[in-house]
Amino acid sequence: MRVIELTGGSVAIAGRPVLRGIDLTVEEGEFVALLGPNGSGKSTLVRALTGLRSLTGGTLTLFGTPFADFHDWRRVGYVPQRPGATAGVPASVREVVTAGRLTHRRLLRRLGRDDRAAVDRALALVGLAGRANDGVAQLSGGQQQRVLIARALAGEPELFFLDEPTAGVDAANQQALADALAALKADGATIVLVAHELGPLTDLVDRAVVLRDGRVVHDGAVPDDALAHAHHHQRPAHHDHAPHVASPLEPRTEERR
């Protein structure tokens, strides 16, 4: 099944073209790496694919459904860019991860056995089962990133977007992430991941799509320069104002509005 089909996808921000006619198809079970220099449009593409940013041109179908008719966001998980989003939040690791179940619960229904099992599985997948009752603020940046990944995993997504989950994350945490994504992939999930260098994720990647200046300049094997060595990665200022991660306790549905 074709999970993502974007044809001629364009986005302009404040009149400036940021994505210019992107064609991208992703099949069920594929692991696609989105690569490209700073400002090439990777995050904007992920936001467009998750409905956080409207396309100004082109057509998009998700799971074979035209975007305008697609409402099954429970099937989609998203881990935004911006490590440290959990810093200073007085919540336990388990509480943050449990927030990932909100779209599965009816309003005011208490957590059920399925919810708790999914939370436990997600915590185990990212290797944080032993830290469930610790405050998130006590964890390192890399571990906090894993908490956000576990929160998205708790929703048991079939299509999973991660925006630079390895940026600024140490080797041990990168390996933990690679293990979690390998397990998710083995379960048949479709994964789209933004990265600068792939490091321990390299072997999981089926296809690399490279953006430059809002266009796809490569779609195929992973290019050599993306394999391991670090690029100097300057985070542009606009990421400090990312509108969609006000709090890790915010339900995913609200992140999408």
Ligand X SMILES: Nc1ncnc2c1ncn2[C@@H]1O[C@H](COP(=O)(O)OP(=O)(O)OP(=O)(O)O)[C@@H](O)[C@H]1O
What does the binding site for ligand X look like in residue numbers (CB under 6 A)? 13-14, 18, 36, 38-44, 236, 238
Q: How many residues does the chain have?
A: 257
Smallest separation, CB 196 to ligand X (Å): 7
Smallest separation, CB 176 to ligand X (Å): 23
Choice between 34 and 125, CB closer to ligand X: 34
Choice between 179 and 213, CB closer to ligand X: 213
Smallest separation, CB 164 to ligand X (Å): 7
Smallest separation, CB 69 to ligand X (Å): 26
Choice between 36 and 199, CB closer to ligand X: 36
| 214 in Cβ contact with 19 (< 8 Å) | yes
Choice between 233 and 251, CB closer to ligand X: 233
Choice between 21 and 39, CB closer to ligand X: 39
Smallest separation, CB 179 to ligand X (Å): 25
